[in-house]
Structure 1
Amino acid sequence: MTDEVSAIRFRLSVPRITFMKNHSSASDRRICGMAQRGGRSEWERQQAAARREAERAAKEEARREKEAERRRKQQHVEDQQKRSEDRTREVEQRVAALDGALPGALQRAPLRFDDLVVKPKIPRFDPGRLDTPEFQPAWAEYEPEPPGLFSLLFGGSARHDREVERAKQAFQDAVTAHKERESQRLSALSKARGEHAARVRAIEDEARSENALLNTRSVEFAQGRPEAVEWFVARILERSAYPEGFPRKFQVAYRPQNRDIVVELELPPTSVIPDVRGYKYVKTRDAIDPIPRPATEVKKRYAQLIASVALRTLHEILSATPADVVDAVVFNGRLTTTDRATGKTTLLHLLSVESERAEFEDLVLSKVDAVACLKRLNALVSPNPYDLEAIEPLIEFDLKRFRFADDIDVVSDLDSRKNLLKLNPTEFEHLVRELFSAMGAEAWTTLPSKDGGVDAVATSKNIFFGGVCLIQAKRWSNLVGLDAVHALTGVMSDHNATTGVLVTTSWFGRASEQFAQRNRIKLINGAELKHLIKEHLGIDVVPGVAPKHKPRASNNKQTGRPGPTQ
């Protein structure tokens, strides 16, 4: 019974189980399909999110790149603008320095002999370690420890005594070595001190020597000795600070007979004037373009500059020298350049001015226009200095022609050379005629009784100013005054002469030189005559007279009275 029931139950249960199995499989498939469809959607969403993040990152990177590029371009523009502003500022500073050539000099104190006193710079003595002694050896560093109670019971006292003896010996050796090292140190220190003292003495001796020479020059300067006066004026010009690009070449001569300084100074080149006003940045072309300075302004600025240099030089010399030594300054401004026609280096004079102290000190230089001021001083200035149009200077600078021998008065009687003052009038006039013939002129002397004040007549295309030239020879021993030059102009007018030459064994005053310059007269003083005779005739002569070194009293009037020989 039981088995049957079990079989029935088995049979009844099989289809049910199968049905349930099939039903479970379909449900599982539906659930699995739903799970699969749900999985693909999540992956897609993840991929889409990743793509969106990548796109966002790319956009952000592009934005950053664009912003960085914008900043780079902006920085470049700012850098270019700053570069143009810096270059403009440099030009403005250069122009300001040029404009300050005269005002800057007026603010500086004039040079004095006291400013040239050498103050020796004594170096500090530095002994280094030689100045530090070593510490002396101390017995405590060598003394052995005393023996303990236990050591004393086993013979430690004798051992300690031996250690003490050895320690004493070591200590004594250390003291001896220390003394020896200290002796060497003290010896080296003494030697170093001696060497330093020797250096100090040498520096002080050199300073004393230079100051002694300076004192001698100061005394000779006060006496009006040419070498001392020229030396001091050279120091004045050396200490004159000019902007960068200015040459520092000059020559100085002192004529004690006139108490004047003749300065030949190299002018700055035309390139010292900036041909641009500044610079501007053109953003569209990313270029820095110069802003041209008008040519008229460049030329005007150069004319102002060289006029300022001339006035500044006159001021520096006259303010630093006393009136009883220097009463006037003649300034010749020259320029060394290249001749465009020949390619050779040539020297051109662009400016020449002479000013007496009283006239110059009456000027208010801080307020003058430099060009107008030179015009008031009757300066000779190139009409176009920037274009290098040259002028003839008031006085040709030739140092060897300025100089009389210092010992003429002393040795003239003993000298084997020909003394011009000892020639008779006819001999002197013939010597002058020979000189002009040797210089390329067709010259002859006149009859003494019919010369009308003319000692010789010369004609030549190359002689001084060309044409017919009347020559007067003055064998004088004192200043040839203005009245003698005036007289020559009258004779020139009577004879319709083109030019005149006044030759003397002595010297001329400034008024004579200025008058001669305006009236086509060439003046030849004793020093220049000596030079010309040596150069063209090969004869070494003695003019026979030299101006006194001691300056004359402050009196500019020239009497023109001749000396004892005429």
Structure 2
Amino acid sequence: MARKRGFFAEMAYQREQAERRERQERTRAAREAERAERARQRAAAQTNRDMQAAYVRAQQEDAAARTSATHARIAELAGILTSAAFSASAVTFDQLRRPFEARRFNPGRLAHAQQPPYWQNYQPKPPSALSRLFSKAKIQQEFAEAQVRFTEAKERFQVNERQRLAALAQAETKHTNTERNRREKVDEHNRRVDELERGVKAKSPKAVEDYSELLIEMSPLPEDIPMDIEVAYQPDARKLLVIRELPDVAVIPGVREFSYVRSRDETVEKPRPQKEIRQRYADLVAQLVLRTMRDAFQIRPTGVIDEVAVNGQVSTRNKATGRPEKPCLVSVSATRAQFEELVLTELDPAECLRHLSALVSPHPWDLEAIRPIFDPDLSKYRFVDARDAAAGLDSRRVLLEMAPVEFEHLVRQLFEAMGMKAWVTQASRDDGVDAVAVNEDPIMGGTCVIQAKRYSGIVPADAVRALAGVMDDKRASRGVLVTTSWFGKATHDFSSRHGRIQLIEGPQLKHLVAEHLGKDVVIGELKRRTR
């Protein structure tokens, strides 16, 4: 049998047990706190990981969105010529006219009069028999007060009604005046449209110019593409001259792709190669010029415009002088018949310009200017005597229809006017001109071999190699290869590598003859180019 503890021993035992329970409780509380802290840390770590993952996803999505926007912009610029190619139609004069739709007069609350006051709502309640006997004076007083209130209510109603009717009449007068002004504006607008239509049908230059500008400017273009154009119309030739403002090369996105690098927490830009930027810019310039011609040919009736010529220029500043200038990058002219043969959705814009014998800057991205086929000062064309223009058209010579001796004489005249003095012509078996000429300029002079190819199709690449051989044989400092048609890529590449050979294609030849000899000539019908 266990020995019973004494009083003090029991107290010590109880104290020890209490301390033990307290230590256990503290231990449990510490463990609970430790577990809670670990849980909190795990939750915080998970929250941080979730936030990091969400941040990374956001950065990746942002990079993907920016890349997608860049791709969309490139696609938009690449489709300028073909966008709305089938839905684009001329803005007819009926579409320009505005119908007048009368608006119904709606005065709102003014149209409805308020309810007039009724005596039934004001008269006192019928008195009882007892009241009539003992309160006759009071009944008479209540009746008199009710009549006063009723009279005042009728007067207020009449005042309000007069004010309502006056406001109603004023609103109706205002509505009538507004409708009359609207109708007058619509009638004036339609009168101007009628006047414009009569002017266009009569081939009035001012009317045709206004209508053409309207057609071209109403054709929607992507953001950052200038809409500025200037036109001049030659009624006798039925020719529209257009100067189109072009964007510079900065319109092409310089970044091809955006990607997020997690290790550096940075969005990296993958630049677009300079070669691609230049190719896309040259393509964009060609598209804008062709689209301008497309929109200009939309004018109706079709007999108003038979030919459209476009100069594409860029507004910039000369880096040497700081002065503003507008270098021309493309200059082209085409008849309606030539343009209607084009399948805009299938062609290559740059090749199409070559097919149309356009003058195109060899480096448009550097704003390297070419001499346009018509003067950018359109005021000169707006005041030209129509009879002189018609006479010039009737007397134009067609280069491809010239006899060989005539063509040789023209080429000789041209280069003599450009500074060549001595001139020796050799026999040519390809219906062209082979000549050795001397430029007496003390700095840029020397022997020059000139070969002119009166072709209607592409000049073979062998021609430029043959010219290089003749230059070596004659120890010539320069060589010039002239054609009424155009050269292929291989010929241009060879000329660039050689460095001393100049190529002159049909449009430039036509321009040089006009500049140095004052003769307006026509190339003639060229063969269709293949891609």
Same fold, TM exceeding 0.5? yes
Letter in 2 for 1:322: P
Counterpart residue number, 1:404: 383
Counterpart residue number, 2:121: 141
CA deviation after TM superposition for structure 1 residue 62, in Å: 1.0
Which runs of 5 or more structure 2 residues have no equivalent in the other structure?
420-505, 519-523, 525-531
What CA deviation, in whole Å up to 9, does each residue of 1:417-467 have, x standing for no partner?
A: xxxxxxxxxxxxxxxxxxxxxxxxxxxxxxxxxxxxxxxxxxxxxxxxxxx
CA distance in 2, matches of 1:523, 1:123: 66
Is 1:497 matched with 2:411?
no
Counterpart residue number, 1:222: 201
CA distance in 1, matches of 2:148, 2:66: 81
CA distance in 2, matches of 1:357, 1:253: 17
1:150 to 130, 136, 140: 130
CA distance in 2, matches of 1:400, 1:276: 42
- SS of 2:330's partner is strand
* Aligned 8 A contact 1:353 1:379 in 2: yes
* Aligned 8 A contact 1:122 1:200 in 2: yes
CA distance in 2, matches of 1:103, 1:266: 19
Letter in 2 for 1:498: A
1:52 to 18, 31, 38: 31
**Judging changes above 3 Å, is the alpha-carbon distance between structure 1 residues 167 and 117 closer, same or farther for their aligned structure 2 residues?**
same
Letter in 1 for 2:119: W
* Aligned 8 A contact 2:359 2:507 in 1: no
CA deviation after TM superposition for structure 1 residue 397, in Å: 2.4
1:178 to 145, 152, 157: 157
CA deviation after TM superposition for structure 1 residue 218, in Å: 0.3
Counterpart residue number, 1:481: 395
Q: Which has the larger displacement, 200-209 or 513-522?
A: 513-522
CA distance in 1, matches of 2:276, 2:176: 61
CA deviation after TM superposition for structure 1 residue 489, in Å: 8.5
Is 1:334 matched with 2:253?
no
**Judging changes above 3 Å, is the alpha-carbon distance between structure 1 residues 121 and 293 closer, same or farther for their aligned structure 2 residues?**
farther
Counterpart residue number, 1:352: 331
- SS of 1:319's partner is coil
Counterpart residue number, 1:517: 510
CA distance in 2, matches of 1:137, 1:43: 90
* Aligned 8 A contact 1:146 1:160 in 2: no
CA deviation after TM superposition for structure 1 residue 516, in Å: 7.0
CA distance in 2, matches of 1:295, 1:263: 30
* Aligned 8 A contact 2:357 2:507 in 1: no
- SS of 2:311's partner is strand
* Aligned 8 A contact 2:200 2:208 in 1: yes
Is 1:197 matched with 2:176?
yes
Task: With the length of structure 2 as denominator, give the TM-score of the two structures.
Answer: 0.74
Give the 5 Å matches for 1:33-44: 33-44=12-23
- SS of 1:104's partner is coil
Counterpart residue number, 1:423: none
- SS of 1:134's partner is coil
What CA deviation, in whole Å up to 9, does each residue of 1:368-415 have, x standing for no partner?
A: 111111111111111111121111111112222112379x99xxxxxx
Letter in 2 for 1:361: E
**Judging changes above 3 Å, is the alpha-carbon distance between structure 1 residues 288 and 475 closer, same or farther for their aligned structure 2 residues?**
closer
* Aligned 8 A contact 1:275 1:298 in 2: yes
- SS of 1:497's partner is helix
CA distance in 1, matches of 2:17, 2:415: 132
* Aligned 8 A contact 2:238 2:304 in 1: yes
Larger Rg: 1
* Aligned 8 A contact 2:256 2:270 in 1: yes
Counterpart residue number, 1:111: 91
CA distance in 1, matches of 2:27, 2:359: 94
Counterpart residue number, 2:146: 167
Counterpart residue number, 1:388: 367
**Judging changes above 3 Å, is the alpha-carbon distance between structure 1 residues 348 and 237 closer, same or farther for their aligned structure 2 residues?**
same
Is 1:88 matched with 2:99?
no
CA distance in 2, matches of 1:254, 1:28: 129
**Judging changes above 3 Å, is the alpha-carbon distance between structure 1 residues 164 and 89 closer, same or farther for their aligned structure 2 residues?**
same
* Aligned 8 A contact 2:417 2:516 in 1: no
1:131 to 83, 107, 111: 111
* Aligned 8 A contact 1:492 1:498 in 2: no
Letter in 1 for 2:90: P
Letter in 1 for 2:337: A
Give the 5 Å matches for 1:272-311: 272-311=251-290
CA distance in 2, matches of 1:491, 1:377: 23
CA deviation after TM superposition for structure 1 residue 342, in Å: 2.6
What CA deviation, in whole Å up to 9, does each residue of 1:305-347 have, x standing for no partner?
A: 1111111111111123333110010011000112223333221
**Judging changes above 3 Å, is the alpha-carbon distance between structure 1 residues 325 and 382 closer, same or farther for their aligned structure 2 residues?**
same
CA deviation after TM superposition for structure 1 residue 523, in Å: 9.1
2:167 to 188, 213, 227: 188
- SS of 2:236's partner is coil
Identity of aligned residues (%): 32
What CA deviation, in whole Å up to 9, does each residue of 1:210-249 have, x standing for no partner?
A: 2111101101101111000001001112212111111221
Q: Aligned Cα RMSD in Å?
A: 3.0
Which runs of 5 or more structure 1 residues have no equivalent in the other structure?
1-22, 410-473, 501-512, 526-556, 558-566
* Aligned 8 A contact 1:499 1:521 in 2: no
State the aligned residue count.
Answer: 425
- SS of 1:101's partner is coil
Is 1:263 matched with 2:177?
no
Give the 5 Å matches for 1:337-486: 337-404=316-383, 479-483=393-397
CA deviation after TM superposition for structure 1 residue 357, in Å: 0.4
- SS of 2:298's partner is helix
CA distance in 2, matches of 1:281, 1:476: 65
**Judging changes above 3 Å, is the alpha-carbon distance between structure 1 residues 265 and 40 closer, same or farther for their aligned structure 2 residues?**
same
CA deviation after TM superposition for structure 1 residue 155, in Å: 4.1
* Aligned 8 A contact 1:516 1:523 in 2: no
Letter in 2 for 1:481: S
CA distance in 1, matches of 2:175, 2:363: 61
- SS of 2:315's partner is strand
Task: With the length of structure 1 as denominator, give the TM-score of the two structures.
Answer: 0.69
**Judging changes above 3 Å, is the alpha-carbon distance between structure 1 residues 123 and 247 closer, same or farther for their aligned structure 2 residues?**
farther
* Aligned 8 A contact 1:246 1:267 in 2: yes
